[in-house]
Amino acid sequence: MDAIPTPLISSFIIRFVMEEKLAYHGSIRHIQTAEEINFNEWKEAVEFMRRFVPLKKTDMDCGL
């Protein structure tokens, strides 16, 4: 009987702090490792997620 592969699960909590004139910053936490970073640009959060999830270049690049 073939073993069913266990899925790889990565969960994140993302917090955004909105400042005046739509400026924002925030933090992102990887639940499984409790590792957390602060970010000032969305690309920093995406780079952090890519450490845990094999995202393609266009998967998370939404132009924020």
Residue 32 forms part of a structural domain: yes
Examine the pLDDT at 61 and tell me if it is beyond 70. no
DSSP state of 53: S
Share of the chain above pLDDT 70, in %: 88
Helix (H) or strand (E) holding 37: strand 35-39
Nearest to 57 by CA among 38, 39, 37, 43: 43
pTM: 0.76
Mean pLDDT of 6-13: 92
pLDDT in tens, 30-44: 999 999 999 999 999
Asked whether the beta carbons of 28 and 41 are under 8 A apart, the reply is no
Assigned token pair, 15:
């917090």
Q: Please tell me the predicted confidence (pLDDT) of residue 58.
A: 66
* Better-scored residue on pLDDT, 56 or 62: 56
Residue 59 forms part of a structural domain: no
* 40 vs 38: CA distance, rounded Å: 7
Residue 61 forms part of a structural domain: no
Structurally, how many domains does the chain consist of? 1
Q: Which domain holds residue 16?
A: 12-50
Residue 43 forms part of a structural domain: yes
